[in-house]
Amino acid sequence: MEAARGAHPLSAEMPASQARTGTIALTVLTILTIFGVIFGLYMGLVRAGTDIDQGSVQRIFYIHMPSFFGAMLAFGAAVVGGIMYLRTRQHKWDTLSLAGVEIGIALALVNLVTGAIWARPIWNTWWNWDPRLTADAIMVLTYAAYLMLRSGIDNPDTRRRFAAVYGIIAFTSVLMVLIIPRIIPTTIHPVVIGPVFTSSELAQGGFELQATAGVGAALGINFIVWMFLIPITLLWHRIRLQNLADRVEAMKTEALSS
Amino acid sequence: MTAAFLRAMIAVARKDFRAEARSRELLSLMGLFSLLSILIFSFALELNRTARLEVVGGVLWVTILFASILGLNRGMALEREGGGMDALLIAPIPRGAIFAGKLIGNFAFAFTVGVLLTPIMSALYTVPALQPSVIGALALGTLGIATVGTVLAALIGATRARDSLLPILMLPVALPVLIAASRASGGLLTGAANADAGAWLLGLALMDAIYLLVCGALFGFVVEEG
């Protein structure tokens, strides 16, 4: 078994002790993330003051926006993985790319669904064709296309190369979500953070960060959790899973060919 | 850009133009599709004249985008059948020149379709479409679509689904160009004052520049053998 592992190009294997340290670090990070989620929920649902206009519905924002930025971080990781793969041709970068896209999609869906739940009472509709919502949905579809592209190519090297190229191009859809509500004046999606170039008079449901006690703190905590802890932990798990799957595949090939 | 690069680029583009001049396959395919598309839109939107006027820019651009996808698919299939891409890759010319040459061809076809389409739409929807700024939006918009399309069309050659995959890969990526282009030409077509048109054209030019840089850099990785 050890010989089989050594024969595969992927297993420029870490020594066993180092692998164990990695596993321990991952376990610690996972536990930290779980506590982070619970603490974030406590801050958002209990500690932060109730919004005077929107009531408790506003609290969904503590997950809604940070999860988008978590998705952005994951998609950004896919871009980094893509560029590094094209430069170095090391499989690990492609694995990072794939993991980034999958986790980005998951977090973007959290973002979409929480947004729809919030919009039902505030905008009186689950979904409207607001530019930002549409751009966000298109972003998810772009990355779904990325997964389709991957599954459509048989040659593994070609698959990695093409996935890297499309992963880089696909990031434009993320930038669209960020830019659109700032330049198209007809959006009703509020811009809470960052510069606004065309202030939308139609924005419904924005709020002041300093308005009530604990709002800023709750948002800060949830930002750390949803933008960094959750994506990084999931990325790590997904990469580890992929490495294990690759190793199983290599061992299978080895066993069949001997 | 050296003289050799330019010469290779022009040679690649001329190859596409000559093939098209002999077969007229791409332009007739794209042209016929575009005509059908605007007729269908015109029937579908017949009920409401004001709504029709407002969406005329969008109709124009959706039609151009779909026609481009059709043309790109067919063009790439022709290259595959004739072994044209392999021959280009064997030739001792930089990959950038191949990209630029193919881009010139794809852009010329899409732009031609757009230019042919505009007067027809002008007649069908009774809007004053033949204005220099509409032509500007057409040039910049089709350039953006062709840039993304050139890379993505090369990309789908290796996939199993091939032709059916290009729209899925291309529509979301071409969306920014589509939005800016229809915004820039929308107000112009209705004749209403569109104060933002200049800004949208500028944004379109900026987007083209970004896409040209990114796609130009990535094209070499797509066509390399491996």
Mean per-residue pLDDT for B39-46? Answer: 81
Looking at CA atoms only, how far is residue A72 from chain B in angstroms? 16
**Which residues in A have their CB inside 8 Å of a CB on B?**
86, 135, 138-139, 141-142, 145, 148-149, 152-155, 157-158, 161-162, 164-166, 168-170, 172-173, 176, 180, 183
Looking at CA atoms only, how far is residue A162 from chain B in angstroms? 6
| ipTM attached to this prediction | 0.85
Chain A contact set for B203 (CB, 8 A): 183
Chain B contact set for A130 (CB, 8 A): none
Q: Give the confidence band of B10 by pLDDT, cuts at 50, 70, 90.
A: very high
- C-alpha span between A43 and A167 (Å, rounded): 35
Residues making up chain B, counted from first to last: 226
- C-alpha span between B106 and A53 (Å, rounded): 53
Task: Considering only the beta carbons, identify the residue of A145, A154, A157 that sits closest to B226.
Answer: A157
Across chain A, how many H-helices and E-strands are there? 8, 0
Q: Give the confidence band of A5 by pLDDT, cuts at 50, 70, 90.
A: very low
Mean pLDDT computed over every residue of chain A: 83
Percent of chain A with pLDDT over 90: 45
Mean pLDDT computed over every residue of chain B: 86
Residue whose pair of structure tokens reads 């479409």 in the numeric block: B129
Percent of chain B with pLDDT over 70: 90
Mean per-residue pLDDT for A26-33? Answer: 92
SS3 B126: coil
E-only strand ranges, chain A? none
- Note whether B32 and B117 are within 8 A (CB): no
Highest mean pLDDT (candidates A154-158, A179-183, A199-203): A154-158
Q: Give the confidence band of A145 by pLDDT, cuts at 50, 70, 90.
A: very high
Is the pLDDT score of A20 beyond 80? no
- Note whether A135 and A189 are within 8 A (CB): no
Residue B152: closest CA among chain A residues belongs to which residue?
A166
- C-alpha span between B11 and B13 (Å, rounded): 5
Task: Considering only the beta carbons, identify the residue of B176, B214, B222 that sits closest to A176.
Answer: B176
Residue A248: CB atoms within 10 Å = 10
Domain boundaries, chain B: 3-223
Mean per-residue pLDDT for A53-67? Answer: 84
- Note whether B110 and B142 are within 8 A (CB): yes
Q: How far, in whole angstroms, is CA A67 from its chain's centroid?
A: 7
Is the pLDDT score of A229 beyond 70? yes
Percent of chain A with pLDDT over 70: 81
- C-alpha span between B66 and B37 (Å, rounded): 9
Residue A86: closest CA among chain B residues belongs to which residue?
B221
- C-alpha span between B213 and B145 (Å, rounded): 14
* Residues A142, B159: C-beta atoms closer than 8 Å: no
Phi, psi of A51 (to 5 degrees): -65, 135
A240 or A16: which leads in pLDDT: A240
pLDDT at A248 (0 to 100): 93
Chain A contact set for B144 (CB, 8 A): none
Is the pLDDT score of A80 beyond 80? yes
Residue B65: which of B40, B88, B94, B33 has the closest Cα?
B33
Determine which of A158, A160, A171 to mutate to test the interface with B (most B C-beta atoms within 10 Å). Answer: A158
Spell out the residues 6+ positions from residue A250 whose beta carbon is closer than 8 angstroms to its own: A4, A5, A7, A8, A10, A11
Q: Using one digit for the tens of pLDDT, what is the confidence trace for A95-113?
A: 999 999 999 999 999 999 9
DSSP 8-class letter at A13: P
Highest mean pLDDT (candidates A20-29, A63-72, A210-219, B185-194): A63-72
* Residues B173, A169: C-beta atoms closer than 8 Å: yes
Among the residues of chain B, which ranges form H helices? 3-23, 25-44, 49-82, 84-90, 95-124, 132-156, 165-190, 197-223
Is the pLDDT score of B137 beyond 60? yes
Beta-bridged to residue A51, according to DSSP, are A55
A188 or A246: which leads in pLDDT: A246
Q: Using one digit for the tens of pLDDT, what is the confidence trace for B91-102?
A: 888 889 999 999
- C-alpha span between B53 and B57 (Å, rounded): 8
SS3 A55: strand
- Note whether A78 and A167 are within 8 A (CB): yes
pLDDT at A180 (0 to 100): 75
Looking at CA atoms only, how far is residue B168 from chain A in angstroms? 6
Please indicate if any CB of chain A lies within 8 Å of the CB of B175. Answer: yes
pLDDT at A135 (0 to 100): 85
Number of A:B CB contacts under 8 A?
69
Mean per-residue pLDDT for B124-144? Answer: 83
Is the pLDDT score of B226 beyond 70? no
Is the pLDDT score of B138 beyond 50? yes
Q: How far, in whole angstroms, is CA A235 from its chain's centroid?
A: 9
Q: Using one digit for the tens of pLDDT, what is the confidence trace for B140-197?
A: 999 999 999 999 998 887 777 777 889 999 998 998 898 888 888 766 555 555 666 7
